[in-house]
């Protein structure tokens, strides 16, 4: 099975991690019900306050539709003041059969 993986690494401004996590709740809930979404979760580093969205999408089109959605756009606006840096990596992936 081929799919798209997105790793969106967020470095929060000092003291803003919890705010970003709170803002993320609605985004995650809504995204999990989107057509074409396979997985969508937010992970926290064990070393620091870095947060990483780990996403799996059935197709580039499903990912593009998500990025244009009102809930994704809203998250971007709401979280902007609390984010120091964001790095996004998009991978085309094929599942390895073991």
pLDDT digits (tens, 9 = 90+) for 19-31: 999 999 999 999 9
State pLDDT tens for residues 2-11.
Answer: 899 999 999 9
Q: What is the pLDDT of residue 96?
A: 81
Q: What is the pLDDT of residue 93?
A: 82
Q: Which residues contact 52 (CB under 8 A, 6 or more apart)?
A: 7, 8, 9, 10, 42, 43, 44, 45
Which residue reads 């790095």 in tokens?
87
- Between the alpha carbon of residue 44 and those of residues 3, 9, 49, 72, 73, the distances in Å are 23, 10, 7, 20, 22
Contact 39, 52 (CB under 8 A): no
Q: What is the pLDDT of residue 28?
A: 97
Q: What is the pLDDT of residue 26?
A: 95
Q: What is the pLDDT of residue 3?
A: 93
Q: What's the alpha-carbon Rg for the chain, to the nearest Å? A: 14
With a cut of 50, list the residues of the chain below it in pLDDT. Answer: none
Q: What is the pLDDT of residue 29?
A: 97
């Amino acid at each position: 099975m081929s799919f798209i993986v997105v790793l969106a690494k967020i470095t929060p401004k000092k003291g803003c991690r919890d705010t970003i996590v709170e803002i993320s709740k609605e985004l995650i809930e809504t995204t999990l019900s989107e057509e074409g979404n396979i997985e969508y979760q937010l992970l926290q580093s064990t070393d620091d306050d870095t947060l990483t969205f780990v996403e799996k999408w059935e197709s580039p089109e499903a990912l593009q539709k998500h990025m244009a959605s009102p809930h994704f756009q809203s998250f971007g606006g709401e979280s902007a003041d609390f984010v120091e840096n964001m790095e996004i990596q998009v991978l085309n992936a094929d599942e390895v059969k073991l």
